[in-house]
Amino acid sequence: MYDRANIAWGFGYILLAAVAGGAFGLQYRVMRRYTVENTSLLSMFFATIVVPLIAVQVMLPGWTDAIRAVGLRQNLLIFAFGFGWGLGAITYAYGFNILGMALAAAIIKGITITIGSGWPLVRRWAEVEPLPKTVTIGGLAVLLVGTLLAGWAGILRERELSRPRLDGVRPEDELSTVPKPTGSMFAIGLVMVLLSGGLSSCANLGYDYAATLEQAMGEQLYWKATLIRWMPMYWGGITALFIFMGGGMIRNGAWRNYFAPGTGRDLLIACSMGAVHVLAQIPYGIGAYYLDRAGKAELGTTVGWGVNIGMALIVASAIGFATGEWRGVSARAANTLRLGILVLLGAIGLLAYANSLAT
């Protein structure tokens, strides 16, 4: 009999993380003066330095001792995963600008699910019994199908909304679309999204390899100890953003926006984005903790990551419908998205069942 309480807590926290992850980025639409670089760097500094340092200082006394206890090599490994995760965010921006949001997101999410959920399962391959292992792999495969369907629906939407009407006006007033890339530009965009897909999975891989930090804190702290897993990874992520986005702002002069009059509103919105980002990650770690404790095999970072990505896609799709992004598209495109959502829900159910079988 599996532990229903831990299962419920685990999926509850992951749902919270998925809602935040699906909603992340909405604030970009209301920025007035800040560029994407301004907003991203400030929000991530708030999310990876300010909030985590306050949280661990209050909730994890002696956390620096645990950092030292695991040794420099382990901390550097987690830092490297964080640096890769930061590069994933940057390469996504380039890939998105070349290939368009729908195609870029579909490829990136697919690779992120495969590597981010697959590698933790491979690490525990001998510990997981055949039936839960098979169901987990099946659930991840169905999740990939749902992701591809959602991506295809997005591609159909972009094509339809970028097609001029008879009067020469684009649908949805002055919708800005990315020109279809050809030749070398398409190749560059494809390389960027392939890199981003692999690098973005570093968020989960770094969390998985940081288990030694949680163990160094001691079991008496329960879920609170998961907070320390993020610290070296966050340091790596913000380092990558400072180097590349900070360097870009120095070159193009966008850093001046931080000191321009009338940008206080943008500053507050960027910080709110940082708060949303915290809610997209910390609760995921807590959810994975509870899923691990629900059974004999630790499938939290395999099942949890897949469920998190799937739920975030569903939330993002729902927000898109609610905000009118799908207004005016064909029934084919809308129904493809609805089918993708149903497949994603089925995949989440399979993954939940796999986690229950591992108890």
175 φ, ψ (degrees, to nearest 5): -65, 130
**CA 280, CA 274: separation in Å to the nearest integer?**
10
The CA-CA-CA angle for residues 73, 277, 309, to 5°, reads: 85
DSSP-derived secondary structure letter, 296: S
C-alpha distances (whole Å) from 143 to each of 31, 131, 139, 238, 256 are 34, 18, 6, 30, 43
**For the chain, what is the mean pLDDT?**
85
Helices (H), strands (E): how many in the chain? Answer: 15, 0
Summarised one tens digit per residue, pLDDT across range 258-281 is 898 888 888 888 888 888 888 889
Summarised one tens digit per residue, pLDDT across range 281-296 is 999 999 999 988 766 6
The tokens of 211 are what?
């288990």
Tally of CB atoms within 10 A around 28: 15
**pLDDT of 98:** 74
C-alpha distances (whole Å) from 228 to each of 61, 62, 147, 302 are 11, 11, 31, 20
Summarised one tens digit per residue, pLDDT across range 324-336 is 878 888 999 889 9
**pLDDT of 195:** 92
Task: Compare 195 and 101 and report the one with higher pLDDT.
Answer: 195
Produce one character per residue of 147-178: b if its CB has 16 or more CB atoms within 10 Å, e if not: bbbbbbbbbbbbbebbeeeeeeeeeeeeeeeb
Arithmetic mean of pLDDT, 76-100: 86
pLDDT of 165 over the 60 cut? no
**pLDDT of 100:** 67
Summarised one tens digit per residue, pLDDT across range 219-243 is 778 899 999 999 999 999 999 999 9
pLDDT of 173 over the 80 cut? no
Q: What is the pTM of this model?
A: 0.85
